[in-house]
């Protein structure tokens, strides 16, 4: 698929908001790679790498992978040829420090983000979705305590990045409750208003 002329995007939302699913749909339709830090880390865990072992210990505690490790992984991924014309970031940046890291990296390439998609989902809805996923997939990292801790981290550390991007006028807040197709169409309607459309 031919990529859109420019589509450097970030999707943000609490765990259970459906951003992973919507991210895949956006990437496919726009022809840009989805760069999910979670996928990269899980691949390392599954592959039994040294990084994977370190990450496993961190997620088992319900904590997030340190900024230095995450930024290094993202910079390497965005430097690959398939991300030259655009990308969709999922899971990074997750705090103000990482916003600064990303700004510096993109500025060095003469680039900036085109839009930030915020999937808004009430906390109770996120918890219900994550509990269901844990039951269906047998995910040991999705205990009630860990879910609550992750949502707290999102609200305290990640939500503030939306103020930064909001001040730049690039945030589109999307209602994340509804069918998958309804939410996807809301996202693409917002992107179309910014002249970001499939090629």
Domains of the chain with CATH codes: 7-193 (3.40.50.300)
Whether 149 is a known active-site residue: answer no
Q: Is the pLDDT of residue 3 over 50?
A: no
Between residues 50 and 196, the one the model is more confident about:
196
In the annotation, is 133 catalytic?
A: yes
pTM for this structure? Answer: 0.84
Find out whether 33 and 8 touch, Cβ atoms under 8 Å.
no
Residue 194 bears catalytic tag: no
Is residue 42 packed enough to be buried (19+ CB in 10 Å), middle (13-18) or exposed (0-12)?
A: middle
Choosing from 25, 77, 94, 186, the catalytic residue is: 94
Active site residue 131: no
Mean pLDDT of the chain: 89
Q: What are phi and psi of 160, to 5 degrees?
A: -60, -20
Residue 2 has what pLDDT? 44
Identify the band that residue 1 occupies on the pLDDT scale cut at 50, 70 and 90.
very low
pLDDT at 24: 95
Q: Which residue has the tokens 């998609």?
A: 117
DSSP 177: -
Task: Tell me if residue 186 is catalytic.
Answer: no
Cα separation of 92 and 151, whole Å? 16
- Average of per-residue pLDDT across 89-95: 92
């Amino acid at each position: 698929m031919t990529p859109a002329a420019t589509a450097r995007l970030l999707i943000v939302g609490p765990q259970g908001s459906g951003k992973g699913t919507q991210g895949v749909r956006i990437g496919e339709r726009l022809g840009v790679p989805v760069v999910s830090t979670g996928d990269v880390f899980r691949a390392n865990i599954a592959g039994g790498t040294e990084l994977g072992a370190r990450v496993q210990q961190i997620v088992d505690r319900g904590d997030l992978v340190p900024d230095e490790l995450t930024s290094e992984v993202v910079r390497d991924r965005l430097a690959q040829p398939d991300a030259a014309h655009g990308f969709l970031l999922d899971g990074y940046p997750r705090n103000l420090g990482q916003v600064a890291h990303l700004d510096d990296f993109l500025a060095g390439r003469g680039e900036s983000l085109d839009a930030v998609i915020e999937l808004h989902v009430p906390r109770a809805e996120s918890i219900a979705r994550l509990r269901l996923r844990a039951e269906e997939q047998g995910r040991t990292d999705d205990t009630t305590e860990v879910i609550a801790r992750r949502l707290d981290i999102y609200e305290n550390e990640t939500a503030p990045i939306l103020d930064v991007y909001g001040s730049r006028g690039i945030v589109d807040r999307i209602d994340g409750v509804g069918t998958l197709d309804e939410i996807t169409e809301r996202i693409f309607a917002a992107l179309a208003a910014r002249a970001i459309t499939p090629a």
